[in-house]
């Protein structure tokens, strides 16, 4: 048997495949065995109860989707009393995901959610920072650093910073998150997009704009994963558009230590466990003892055609 386990700082996962926040819940236990997954990542919650964005909340775009779910949240109390106990029945590490509008609220929530049963905290810093201009924390290195430092001092649990593809400063934001004390980066969240129903001339999402996820996002978040893996020394968790084994291999080769699968679970709900099996079969067929020789193995010094380079010299 190939050893698929990967280390994310102090945390060891039995395999590198886990769900992406917001595309997974208790409900998936009705279709597959959650213990087969490397980790279990909850939907982002806020401290207070929230309704989320108006419907329609999803729409389809060519081969992918947009969503403007927002963060409907039953709040921290419900999470501690219901969600957490549910996941205690599984041995895959359970990861909470949190969000807040200000640095202090964020840190306080982080502290209050640092309870037994939570193996790591994913901090969704792709949400708007209402103290500044409403731009997400992860849009800028400075706001990323500020929030991460405060979060770091609020918990001893591993902190995963979830970055946004909407920023123009991916590497700088990644470095700020590392400097602020992140144990790992999740790269990345959805990309702000839009679709219009030409018949009614209304935006297809009740919130006008929403986040792109699914296969269309992959080349972008794969590029970000590569940039982040080059820029920081903490592990990177690739996320965006994963739909098959090849996608996972691309992320690992680009430098990701683990991956999150989101939208594809909506299309094929059992895909994550299928992918675990396929990854094991691949590693076996390639004669790999574990995944270490795969992770970060991109041959980026040899991408260009030799003929082209020689002709120039």
Ligand X SMILES: Cc1cc2nc3c(=O)[nH]c(=O)nc-3n(C[C@H](O)[C@H](O)[C@H](O)COP(=O)(O)O)c2cc1C
Contact footprint for ligand X (CB under 6 A): 20-23, 43-44, 67, 69, 71, 97, 124, 162, 189-190, 213-214, 217, 239-242, 261-264
Contact 100, 46 (CB under 8 A): yes
Query: Is 79 exposed, middle or buried (CB count within 10 Å of its CB: 0-12, 13-18, 19+)?
Result: buried
Minimum separation from the CB atom of position 43 to ligand X (A): 5
Contact 139, 189 (CB under 8 A): no
Question: Which DSSP symbol is given to 239?
Answer: E
Site for other proteins in 238-297 (CB under 8 A): 243-244, 263-271, 273-274, 277
Closer residue to other proteins in complex, CB, 32/253: 32
User: Omega before 57 cis (within 30°)?
Assistant: no
Query: Is 299 exposed, middle or buried (CB count within 10 Å of its CB: 0-12, 13-18, 19+)?
Result: exposed
Backbone angles phi, psi at 44, to 5 degrees: -60, 135
Tell me whether residue 228 is one of the annotated catalytic residues: no
Minimum separation from the CB atom of position 262 to other proteins (A): 10
238 forms part of the interface with a second copy (CB under 8 A): no
Q: Which residues contact 313 (CB under 8 A, 6 or more apart)?
A: none
Q: Which stretch binds a second copy (CB under 8 A): 101-109, 111-119, 152-160, 243-251?
A: 243-251
Closer residue to other proteins in complex, CB, 156/310: 310
Site for a second copy in 112-171 (CB under 8 A): 135, 139-140, 166-169
Catalytic residue among 59, 127, 228, 239: 127
Q: Which stretch binds other proteins (CB under 8 A): 7-15, 58-66, 93-101, 102-110?
A: 58-66
Closer residue to other proteins in complex, CB, 54/134: 54
- Alpha helix stretches (DSSP H) within 162-217: 170-179
Could you say which of 30, 51, 156, 233 contacts a second copy (CB under 8 A)? Answer: 51
Minimum separation from the CB atom of position 100 to other proteins (A): 19
Which x/- pattern over 175-214 shows residues binding other proteins (rule: CB under 8 A)?
---------------------------------------x
First to last CA, the chain: 48
Provide the β-strand partners of residue 120. 95
Integer Cα distance of 158 and 13 in angstroms? 13
Here the tokens at position 25 are: 């819940």
56 forms part of the interface with a second copy (CB under 8 A): yes
Could you say which of 4, 28, 125, 259 contacts other proteins (CB under 8 A)? Answer: 28
User: Omega before 188 cis (within 30°)?
Assistant: yes
Here the tokens at position 170 are: 């991916």
Question: Helix 141-152 vs helix 103-112: angle between axes, to the nearest 10 degrees?
Answer: 30
Closer residue to ligand X in complex, CB, 97/129: 97
**Residues labelled catalytic:** 127
User: Which residues of this protein are in contact with other proteins, per CB under 8 A?
Assistant: 22-25, 27-33, 43, 51-52, 55-65, 67, 69, 72, 214-215, 243-244, 263-271, 273-274, 277, 305-308, 310-312
């Amino acid at each position: 048997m190939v050893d698929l386990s990967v280390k994310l700082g102090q945390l060891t996962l039995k395999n590198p495949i886990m769900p992406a926040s917001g595309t997974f819940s208790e409900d998936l236990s009705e279709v597959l065995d959650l213990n087969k997954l490397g980790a279990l990542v909850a939907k982002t919650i806020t401290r207070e109860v929230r309704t989320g964005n108006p419907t329609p909340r999803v729409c389809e775009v060519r081969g992918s989707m947009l969503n403007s779910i927002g963060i409907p949240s039953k709040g921290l109390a419900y999470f501690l009393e219901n969600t957490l106990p549910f996941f205690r029945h599984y041995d895959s590490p359970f990861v909470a995901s949190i969000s807040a509008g200000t640095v202090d609220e964020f840190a306080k929530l982080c502290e209050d959610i640092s309870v037994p049963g939570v193996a790591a905290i994913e901090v969704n810093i792709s949400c708007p920072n209402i103290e500044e201009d409403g731009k997400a924390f992860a849009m800028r290195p400075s706001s990323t650093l500020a929030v991460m430092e405060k979060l770091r001092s609020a918990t001893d649990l591993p902190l995963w910073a979830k970055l946004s593809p909407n920023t123009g400063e991916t590497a700088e934001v990644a470095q700020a998150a590392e400097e602020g004390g992140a144990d790992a980066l999740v790269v990345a969240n959805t990309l702000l997009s839009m679709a219009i129903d030409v018949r009614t001339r209304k935006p297809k999402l009740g919130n006008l704009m929403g986040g792109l996820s699914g296969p269309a996002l992959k080349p972008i978040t794969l590029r970000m994963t590569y940039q982040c893996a080059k820029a920081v020394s903490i592990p990177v968790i690739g996320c965006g558009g994963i739909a098959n084994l090849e996608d996972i291999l691309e992320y690992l080769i680009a430098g990701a230590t683990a991956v999150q699968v989101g939208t594809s679970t909506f299309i094929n709900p059992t895909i994550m466990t299928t992918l675990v099996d396929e990854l094991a079969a691949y590693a076996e067929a390639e004669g790999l003892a574990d995944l270490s020789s795969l992770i970060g193995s991109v041959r980026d010094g040899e991408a260009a055609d030799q003929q082209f380079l020689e002709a120039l010299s």
